[in-house]
Amino acid sequence: AQLPSGLVPDIAPEYTVFSGGFRDSPEWGSAMALLPQFLLKYYQQYPDLALLYPNISAYVKYVASQTGP
């Protein structure tokens, strides 16, 4: 569901595109980055975090591009 821009939309699949803050609300995108940390903390394992790095990196770059100076 992650878009080429790095955005993780709030609805997947994104049948309806909402505008404004709803579409890029940080809950789902940040969950993609935080969930592996929680799994590692509670279960002491997580399979191949390197697979998630490109997606997490793209999301962080997207969020950074949305912030002001």
Q: What is the pTM of this model?
A: 0.77
Q: Is the peptide bond before 47 cis (omega within 30 degrees of 0)?
A: no
pLDDT, one tens digit per residue, over 25-67 is 788 888 888 888 888 888 887 767 788 889 999 999 998 998 7
Residue 53's CB: how many other CB atoms inside 10 A?
Answer: 11
pLDDT, one tens digit per residue, over 3-30 is 899 988 888 777 887 776 677 778 888 8
